[in-house]
Amino acid sequence: MNQSVDITINKMVFDYDKLIIIGPTFPHEVVGFSGGNKYLFPGISGEEIINMFHWLGALITNPLIIGNKYTPVRKIIDIAAKMLRMEKICLSLVVKGEELAGLYIGTPEDAWEAAADLSDKIHITYKNKKFHTVLSCAPEMYADLWTGGKCMYKLEPIVEDGGKLIIYAPHIKEVSVTHGEIIEKIGYHVRDYFKKQPSRFKGIPGGIMAHSTHVRGVGSFENGIEKPRIDVILATGIPETTCSRINLGYMNPASIKVENYMNREDEGILYVPKAGEMLYRLRQNKGLNNG
């Protein structure tokens, strides 16, 4: 069934005959690679396209989107941007750590294209095998699970079926500063949990449901039974009762000795000291671009 979506944007853009976009490009769970016209749509656009944009990415699923250039979500963004007739110039930055690795200037499409190619080379870590246990350590810059969720979806592709990913972040004490009430109401679930029960989640913003599926990961929902592909466990300052209510596992962060996870890749255990920045991917699988 076709569904129309209102495309709205901050009206201030129409006060100018030239727009200059400045921002980084890196693997992104909703669009593939951030940057370019994404800073217009959904960057300064209205709620309708923001929710559609995120939910479309969730329907395709994070492992098939993240780190791939040519995605249906990117195509929609570029189509929307063509409706803005003024001149647009983009400065696409590629950053590694605190250093500038590349700067590309041109139209949003061309600058992003070049920046995404470089990001693919420096922001993706390839592994030869999957791991049954991943300790994903969130840096202090992630203040809640809404942002700290990157520590899940940038590592999901290299966790074995039935494996577990532990988000280790004692400093994170709440689910979301902005959307916590809704997330705690609906919980974290696989895509089909929402897709097969549309009436139950009517009125829930697509962007929030998308976040839910990204953190919970892929899986199935058949005959009322949800089967996530992997276990996602929080070792954070979020209480065990809350973790249970939002459908995520719990570990007491004080019980974790980080050194016990180090240098054990041969045993199927991966330690990631500063998760959320690099995308981890299985070497022989490059998703949508390569089948």
* Complete domains list, the chain, with CATH: 11-122 (3.40.50.11440), 126-289 (3.90.226.30)
d(Cα 75, Cα 127) in Å, to the nearest integer?
29
Where does the pLDDT of residue 6 fall: very low under 50, low under 70, confident under 90, or very high at 90 and above? confident
Mean pLDDT, residues 263-283? 97
Mean pLDDT, residues 172-178? 97
Mean pLDDT, residues 134-148? 98
Contact 5, 52 (CB under 8 A): yes
What is the pLDDT at residue 7?
85
Where does the pLDDT of residue 1 fall: very low under 50, low under 70, confident under 90, or very high at 90 and above? very low
Mean pLDDT, residues 207-230? 98
Is 75 exposed, middle or buried (CB count within 10 Å of its CB: 0-12, 13-18, 19+)? Answer: exposed
C-alpha angle 198-199-204 in degrees, rounded to nearest 5: 75
User: Is a pLDDT exceeding 50 seen at residue 36?
Assistant: yes
Tell me the average pLDDT of the chain: 95
User: Is a pLDDT exceeding 80 seen at residue 138?
Assistant: yes
User: Is a pLDDT exceeding 70 seen at residue 197?
Assistant: yes
Mean pLDDT, residues 35-39? 97
User: Is a pLDDT exceeding 60 seen at residue 163?
Assistant: yes
What is the pLDDT at residue 214?
98
Structure-model confidence comparison of residues 238 and 5, the more confident one: 238
Contact 19, 91 (CB under 8 A): no
User: Is a pLDDT exceeding 90 seen at residue 291?
Assistant: no
What is the pLDDT at residue 285?
54
The DSSP code for 211 is H
Q: Which two tokens stand for residue 14?
A: 């129409």
Where does the pLDDT of residue 289 fall: very low under 50, low under 70, confident under 90, or very high at 90 and above? very low
Q: Which two tokens stand for residue 37?
A: 């016209």
Where does the pLDDT of residue 133 fall: very low under 50, low under 70, confident under 90, or very high at 90 and above? very high
Mean pLDDT, residues 121-139? 98
Mean pLDDT, residues 272-276? 97
What is the pLDDT at residue 256?
98
The DSSP code for 9 is B
Beta-carbon contacts of 102 under 8 Å, excluding residues fewer than 6 positions away, are: 93, 94, 114, 115, 118
What is the pLDDT at residue 89?
98
